[in-house]
């Protein structure tokens, strides 16, 4: 399926947020995921489905000034 991940079109096989993070090799839990502009709570990552054409943002906090 094709998703828009952080603004770029990408083909993936994952169908949940957790599977997507694993497929993209994100490790740890120090980031936030939003699907179609709605933040997905970490406890729902295993069950939160993603669909063809969804826009997914994976955000990591940054420090600076």
DSSP states of 16-51: BHHHHHHHTT--SS-SEEEETTEEEPGGGTTT-B--
pLDDT values of the chain reduced to their tens digit, one per residue, 65 residues: 999 999 999 999 999 999 999 999 988 878 899 999 999 999 999 999 999 999 999 998 776 66
Tokens of 61: 């906090």
- The pLDDT of residue 65: 60
**Domains detected in the chain:** 2-59 (3.10.20.30)
CA distance 37 to 14: 19
Model pLDDT, residue 30: 86
- The whole model's pTM is what? 0.89
């Amino acid at each position: 399926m094709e998703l828009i991940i952080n603004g770029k079109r990408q083909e993936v096989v994952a169908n949940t947020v957790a599977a997507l993070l694993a497929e993209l090799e994100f490790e740890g839990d120090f980031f936030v995921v939003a699907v179609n502009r709605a933040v997905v709570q970490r406890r729902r990552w295993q069950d939160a489905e993603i669909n063809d054409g969804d826009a997914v943002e994976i955000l990591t906090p940054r420090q600076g000034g």
